[in-house]
Structure 1
Amino acid sequence: MDTLDTEYELLEGKPSFLDKVGFWVARQRRAGRAPLFVGAGFAFLLLLLLLGSWKYSSSSIPKPDDRPTPEAHENSKQCIAQKVFGSSVKAESLWPVFQSDSAFAPRFAYVFYATQKEYLCNTLINFEQLRKENVAGEIALIYPSSWQDTEPEGSTGAIRRMLDKAREKYGVNLHPMEVWRTHRGDPTWSESLTKLHVFGLTDYARIIYLDSDGLALRNMDHLFLAPQAHIALPRAYWLDKDELASHIMVITPSDALLSRVKKWVDNIDKQGFDMELVNSLSASSALVLPHRGYAMLTGEFRNSNHSKYLAEDGPEAVWDPRAELSRSFYIHFSDWPLPKPWKPATKAQIEKVQPVCEPEEKEKCGNRKHWQSVYDLYHKLKDQVCID
């Protein structure tokens, strides 16, 4: 037995595939056959990587015309959901969707809402992003039913053309709804209650709701496999008080939920905004999503203290702007007093709020670089997909 065989036997436990490949390559090198066999070996490994697709595959989330089975989900080993929710995530997580006597395939959807032209543009940007990510979930849009009169089929206004583009290019399901308003607070948010219609979209078994003043960065299909809960959402980590955020939510819609929402909306002037309702609905039974990766604000790059954002990983967690942006699935534009990116901002306004570059960073300035990259991506996509 040569030295390599001895080392092979000394490996603790069962050798992995890569261990075996390493020993095989070493033997070929000793035999003088390294150039030929090493080249062939690396070509074979490359082929395996391409076929295996190390990028998360959304194939474990059923498309509308598929008929999934619990066994198919239980056997899947590529599910990011297990990394987020733990190894116990199984098909039963989708209760009551997956029942043995189910006569229909469940439908899943990413849902947005828009009540103004600028926000409709933002939804197109996110539709583009999600389609690039090849999401398996459907995409749906809540919009004012009044647009059916002001922007009828066949008209040529910007809103009508963007609605048509959403449906025809991105395959978006259009849901006209009554606009719900509040007269409290800033008029900017007066129509934000309209998003609450999402709780009644019972055509879908599960929904990932996203505010359109954010940017989808990666495929989030795995959130459809969240454990049983009417609503799952992250903490509003930037607040001192213990509240949940409503700019990203995973919802199991139902008539019962919508009934509670309508009662609340009827008394909205006494009770507050959409975030207050969401906290009221979820106070005792919500599943809390990790805010890190799902609820980042662009303003986080401007902070000098990142302890709130990193709190989930304890006091020894280190802030790395590049790593945090790379791991983010969705990011929300929030840089007050800088206006939202679809509104004009002066150079002076931008320079006043942009992340500070510390002297020791020199030209690197990671926080500013990655903060700016999010805005650059938004403006690039806006120029590509929106209609004036």
Structure 2
Amino acid sequence: MLYPQKWKVPKDVLDDDAPPIEYEGKLLAQARDQYHAKLNPIQVRTYVNEKDATWQDSYTKLLAWNQTQYKRHMDELFLLPTAPVAMPRAYWLEQFFLSSQLIVIEPSEDGWQRVQSAMEHHEGYDYDMDILNKVFDRDVWLELRKDFSERRLRVCGKAYDNI
């Protein structure tokens, strides 16, 4: 689990003599202690946009591609076949675009190099969603859609027609 290095995580949540900690630190300690999450402090990646700061820290999530010690992230949530990335379609946009709100990835050195290069050479006000749509094209999504629908049909007896 990646988290901003400025968040302090206690060694022992139940230690009454420990200095007070922020809510985030308590939650991270709980994830570590109760759910055996591996915590990895990182420096937040910021792209400064003076006109709109809303998504300026969104590059941070792209660091997940560099977690190559793992095979896949969030795989237990889906019946997805092997693919470099799986993202839902940004249904609110008229043109085809993938959303970065939820991403299932297969970390790889090649994927990380491509994402990192796109972050370093972004155009205008490109944010995480724009970067990923440039790096991973529509064909990845269409192939995943077909495979997922076929797997769901086998497992649940019902295919998705409209994803």
Fold shared per TM-score above 0.5: yes
- After TM superposition, the structure 1 = structure 2 runs for residues 82-231 of structure 1, keeping only pairs within 5 Å, are 141-147=1-7, 151=8, 153=10, 154-158=18-22, 159-184=24-49, 185-208=51-74, 221=76, 223=78, 225-231=79-85
Letter of the 2:92 counterpart: W
- The answer to whether the 8 A contact 2:5-2:42 is kept is yes
Runs of 4 or more above 6 Å deviation: none
Deviation of 1:142 (Å): 1.2
Unaligned runs of 5+ in 2: 11-17, 146-159
Letter of the 2:20 counterpart: T
- After TM superposition, the structure 1 = structure 2 runs for residues 248-259 of structure 1, keeping only pairs within 5 Å, are 248-259=102-113
Deviation of 1:152 (Å): 5.6
SS at match of 2:73: strand
Matches of 2:63 and 2:119 in 1, distance apart? 11
C-alpha spacing 1:196/1:273, structure 2 compared with 1 (3 Å): same
SS at match of 2:70: coil
> Aligned Cα RMSD in Å?
2.6
Matches of 2:56 and 2:125 in 1, distance apart? 14
- The answer to whether the 8 A contact 2:32-2:39 is kept is yes
Aligned match of 1:266: 120
**What CA deviation, in whole Å up to 9, does each residue of 1:262-320 have, x standing for no partner?**
22222346351000011011115423456xxxxxxxxxxxxxxxxxxx9818xxxxxxx
- Larger relative strand fraction: 1
Matches of 2:4 and 2:122 in 1, distance apart? 19
1:232 matched to 2:96:
no
TM-score (norm 1): 0.33
- The answer to whether the 8 A contact 1:193-1:274 is kept is yes
SS at match of 1:143: strand
Letter of the 1:142 counterpart: L
- The answer to whether the 8 A contact 1:182-1:268 is kept is no
SS at match of 1:221: helix
**What CA deviation, in whole Å up to 9, does each residue of 1:193-227 have, x standing for no partner?**
1000111111211113xxxxxxxxxxx7262x522
Unaligned runs of 5+ in 1: 1-140, 209-219, 291-309, 314-388
C-alpha spacing 1:152/1:166, structure 2 compared with 1 (3 Å): closer
Aligned match of 1:78: none
SS at match of 1:206: coil
TM-score (norm 2): 0.72
Matches of 1:228 and 1:165 in 2, distance apart? 31
**What CA deviation, in whole Å up to 9, does each residue of 1:241-271 have, x standing for no partner?**
1111111222111111111222222234635
Matches of 1:152 and 1:247 in 2, distance apart? 26
SS at match of 2:99: coil
- After TM superposition, the structure 1 = structure 2 runs for residues 1-388 of structure 1, keeping only pairs within 5 Å, are 141-147=1-7, 151=8, 153=10, 154-158=18-22, 159-184=24-49, 185-208=51-74, 221=76, 223=78, 225-268=79-122, 270=124, 272-283=126-137, 285-288=139-142, 312=162
Deviation of 1:160 (Å): 2.2
